[in-house]
Structure 1
Amino acid sequence: MAYLSEQKRSFFSNDYTCFKTYPLDLNAARRLELRPFELANYDVFAFDFDGTLADTNATKYRAVYCAALSVTEDESVASRFAKKFIFQSGISREAKITAEFDEAVAKQVLAKYNSNLEVMLSEVVLDDDALRLIEKISEREMTALIVTGGDVKEVEQILERNQCADLFHGVFGPPLNKVQHFRNLLKSGLTAVYFGDSPYDAEACIETGVDFCFVEQFSHVDYGQIDKPSYSINKFGDILCQLL
């Protein structure tokens, strides 16, 4: 992966292998095929949280790696699962953990992961440009909400600590998955766009007909690994100017 920048290749510490694999010039060429972002086309702006509004993927990798290691006592098993866990970003932790371990072990891994996150997420801050964009959306009486595969209470606590909870019309997460949330949203007849960072985010949007905007800044993958996004941006500042 010599064509990747040092920043991308060292995206995660320790043994984490970044999933970004496409040459930057190929990503740029593919982006030229996309239409310009049009804010006026949408009634609802929905946001993923982990890896999109906040740079939490590395934190969650460490948390789940330590959780799996404490139970399995096998570094290779813990590392392999932690990488898979992050690559499946957007799917609930319960679903990912129970699919990997038997019931008794899964309960231990989940409990340890939740305990690790309670400490590790205490200093998480939201991306400045993302907050500025959402403030502008709110000022124009548009709807902003969060649809996450993570724990809703954890996200709500982070929003409260960052003093921005009132900018969102709600946080939606498990036990419903993103496809179910998107279908419920579309029943209202509103047009929606979803900002996310993972292949699963894109798949959920394709399945339901919600437009998808890939945000690469904190993502564990790059644009070339996202299936048919409606839009792609490096960071929220790329579209913030449209609301200034």
Structure 2
Amino acid sequence: MIRGKSEYRTLIFDCDGVVLDSNHLKTDAFFKAALPYGQDLACALVDYHRNNGGISRYRKFDYFLSHLVPEGARGPSREELLAEYAKLVFNGLLSCEVVPGLDQLKASMPDCRWLIVSGSDQDELRTVFGKRQLAPLFEGGIFGSPDSKDQILAREMSRGNILQPALFLGDSRYDHEAARNAGLDFVFINQWTEFSEWRNYCRLNNIAAHPALPW
């Protein structure tokens, strides 16, 4: 169920695929960062990334090195993979499309607190949103990894920073699971999602889906 926008006291946005058209940037960066291990392993990492949207790069590279890369294979370390990934992604985040209508929606909800809760690196997010002059929209804060979305939501709710009723706007299975675990309403934003099974998932879980912003 989704309520009227005037009823919500808090809106929580995922970043990639919801506020920014950046999912494709992340996918390409995972592939290129892992390519020193060979194309097959780079493709395997991309598959894992797409099937686990919303989870941090730290966990994805940990999984890659511990479960996908054969023992004894030579290639970049975890720190080198993370550094290369960040370098590949950063400039793209400064220029990719922002979801249309964000400023207008904010103006129409003057009493609603907005937050970003993302699987992306928190420091990187705050830098990008600052440079793109998006940070003032999210007066509740901009939060990301290495903390998980579950950890962020639990912490910010305990601090009184997330006030109910609250709505999470996300584009992945994990976004929905995190919202459900926290007792938040949820809308699936589908225009930029890389979750190929989103239609079936939303139907089976009775989730409202919208191409972009829900109002």
1:61 to 7, 27, 31: 27
> C-alpha root-mean-square deviation of aligned residues, in Å?
2.2
2:210 to 233, 241, 244: 233
CA distance in 2, matches of 1:89, 1:131: 26
Q: Does 1:211 align with 2:185?
A: yes
**What is the CA distance between 1:230 and its match in structure 2?**
4.7
Q: Does 1:162 align with 2:129?
A: no
1:190 to 153, 158, 163: 163
Q: Check the 8 A contact 2:170/2:187 in 1, yes or no.
A: yes
Q: Does 1:107 align with 2:73?
A: no
Q: Check the 8 A contact 2:167/2:187 in 1, yes or no.
A: yes
Three-state SS of the structure 2 residue aligned to 1:52 is coil
Aligned-residue sequence identity (percent) comes to: 26
1:224 to 192, 200, 214: 200
**What is the CA distance between 1:80 and its match in structure 2?**
1.7
User: Is the strand fraction higher in 1 or 2?
Assistant: 2
Instruction: Name the counterpart of 2:12.
Output: 46
Instruction: Name the counterpart of 1:202.
Output: 176
**What is the CA distance between 1:110 and its match in structure 2?**
1.4
TM-score normalized by the length of structure 2: 0.83
1:113-159 deviation per Cα after TM superposition (whole angstroms, max 9, x unaligned): 1121123323123112234323433xx13101100110122222322
1:34-65 deviation per Cα after TM superposition (whole angstroms, max 9, x unaligned): x4542233211010000111111111111110
CA distance in 1, matches of 2:11, 2:105: 10
What letter matches 2:101 in structure 1? Answer: D
Instruction: Name the counterpart of 1:82.
Output: 46
CA distance in 2, matches of 1:229, 1:55: 25
Gaps of 5+ in 1: 1-34, 240-244
Q: Check the 8 A contact 2:34/2:42 in 1, yes or no.
A: yes
Instruction: Name the counterpart of 1:143.
Output: 113
**What is the CA distance between 1:229 and its match in structure 2?**
5.5
Three-state SS of the structure 1 residue aligned to 2:11 is strand
Find runs of 4+ consecutive structure 1 residues off by over 4 angstroms.
none
The number of aligned residues is 200
**What is the CA distance between 1:211 and its match in structure 2?**
1.3
Matches within 5 A, 1:127-142: 127-137=99-109, 140-142=110-112
CA distance in 2, matches of 1:122, 1:162: 7
Three-state SS of the structure 1 residue aligned to 2:12 is strand
Three-state SS of the structure 1 residue aligned to 2:212 is coil
CA distance in 2, matches of 1:158, 1:67: 21
1:153 to 123, 131, 134: 123
**What is the CA distance between 1:89 and its match in structure 2?**
1.8
